[in-house]
């Protein structure tokens, strides 16, 4: 007997996912039909990055309702598929299997070979689901997975928000700053627009080069300003995280853009996402400076 889902997009995704079934594809599809959930093996088709919901909620700021948070995740993670557990207050972001090799983000875990994951039926989308998990952000097509760089930046943003309670930089009022934030954001978004279709659609290196060069014009000013502000911070944990982020940006800047299209796109995307997070740190530092100058 062949088990089919309700619409062709979900059916195509189900066929792809079921190839990672714990037992066999037919059993997985039968369990999706009867229970709405099945167990898949991580490491072959995807890795799953487990992220605490508290960190994501902190990063999202005022977007706290489930449907609002899901929309925020779709944007912040560039369309990466996300499974949300309604009981354990955690999320699983599905990324390329190679992500597990270099994953070093504190407070999270990247599940590769040897791990199993309960996966809801591909058409069980949005809160509240009838199972203990649902797709907060569904898989749009087979093989359309997320970027580990985007997940790491979301986590860093959330950890900063938890520790210092600064708002999402996209919602801050404009202020005069020593860094050309408008130019920087324009360059960041140009890179992220080019890499948005990954891993399926890889932009040519030649298209990335001008955007990366433009972003590099602003990065040194940003790094210099943040470093100066970091030295006066009293929060040692915040200092450590900021210095790690600056080190990552400098390592990226010191390396030439790789010759291969995919490698170049991954490096460019990582630089843009790191700069986005460092911009949030800079704006938080500026806010603290403004409050100190006014005597608050």
Res. 257: pLDDT tops 60: yes
Taking residues 173-196, what's their average pLDDT?
A: 77
Q: What is the mean pLDDT of the chain?
A: 82
Q: What is the DSSP string of 191-231?
A: HHHHHTTTTTSPPPHHHHHHHHHHHHHHHHHHHHHHHHHHT
Compare 169 and 190 and report the one with higher pLDDT: 190
Whole-angstrom distance, CA of residue 273 vs CA of residue 219: 12
> 60, 53, 43: which is closest to 91 by C-alpha?
53
pLDDT digits (tens, 9 = 90+) for 132-171: 789 999 998 999 999 999 999 899 888 887 765 544 444 4
Model confidence at 46, in pLDDT bands (50, 70, 90)? very high
pLDDT of residue 293: 46
pLDDT of residue 62: 80
Opening angle at CA 98, ends 8 and 216, nearest 5: 100
CB distance 212 to 257 below 8 Å: yes
Q: In sequence order, which residues have a C-beta less than 8 Å from that of residue 104 and are 6 or more positions away?
A: none
Q: What is the DSSP string of 109-158?
A: EEE-TT-EEEEE-TT-BSSSPSSSEEEEE---STT--B-HHHHHHHHHHH
DSSP 3-state helix, strand, coil percentages of the chain (rounded to 5)?
55, 10, 30
Whole-angstrom distance, CA of residue 237 vs CA of residue 118: 34
Spatial strand order in the sheet of 90-95: 109-111, 47-52, 90-95, 82-85, 133-137
Q: Where are the domains of the chain?
A: 8-137, 166-294
Taking residues 221-244, what's their average pLDDT?
A: 77
pLDDT of residue 289: 54
Whole-angstrom distance, CA of residue 184 vs CA of residue 219: 8
How many angstroms separate the Cα of 127 from the Cα of each of 25, 54, 69, 136, 164? 27, 17, 10, 7, 29
Taking residues 231-255, what's their average pLDDT?
A: 77
Compare 129 and 225 and report the one with higher pLDDT: 225
CB distance 99 to 50 below 8 Å: no
Taking residues 191-216, what's their average pLDDT?
A: 86
pTM, whole model, 2 decimals? 0.60
Model confidence at 175, in pLDDT bands (50, 70, 90)? very low
pLDDT of residue 2: 36
pLDDT of residue 281: 86
CATH topology of domain 166-294: 1.20.120
Model confidence at 243, in pLDDT bands (50, 70, 90)? confident
Give helix then strand counts, H and E, for the chain: 9, 7
């Amino acid at each position: 007997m062949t088990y089919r889902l309700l619409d062709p997009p979900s059916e195509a995704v189900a066929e792809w996912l079921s190839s990672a079934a714990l037992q066999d594809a037919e059993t997985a599809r039968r369990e999706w039909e009867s229970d709405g959930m099945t167990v898949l093996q991580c490491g072959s088709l995807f890795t799953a990055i487990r992220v605490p919901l508290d960190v994501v909620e902190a990063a999202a700021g005022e977007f706290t309702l489930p449907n609002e948070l899901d929309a925020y995740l779709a944007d912040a993670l560039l369309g990466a598929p996300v499974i949300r557990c309604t009981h354990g207050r955690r999320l699983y972001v599905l990324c390329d299997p190679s992500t597990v090799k270099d994953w070093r983000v504190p407070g999270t875990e990247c599940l590769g070979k040897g791990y199993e994951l309960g996966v809801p039926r591909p058409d069980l989308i949005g809160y509240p689901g009838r199972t203990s998990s649902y797709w907060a952000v569904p898989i749009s097509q087979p093989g359309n997975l997320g970027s580990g760089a985007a997940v790491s930046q979301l986590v860093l943003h959330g950890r900063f928000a938890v520790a210092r309670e600064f708002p999402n930089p996209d919602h801050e009022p404009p202020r005069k700053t020593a860094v050309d934030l408008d130019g920087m954001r324009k360059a960041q978004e140009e890179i992220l627009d080019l890499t948005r279709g990954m891993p399926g659609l890889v932009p040519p290196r030649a298209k990335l080069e001008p955007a990366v060069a433009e972003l590099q014009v602003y990065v040194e000013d940003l790094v210099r300003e943040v470093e100066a502000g970091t030295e006066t911070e009293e929060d040692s944990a915040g200092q450590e995280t900021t210095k790690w982020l600056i080190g990552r940006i400098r390592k990226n800047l010191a390396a030439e853009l790789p010759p291969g299209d995919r490698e170049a796109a991954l490096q460019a995307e990582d630089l843009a996402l790191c700069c986005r997070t460092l911009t949030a740190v800079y704006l938080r530092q500026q806010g603290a400076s403004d409050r100190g100058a006014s005597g608050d």
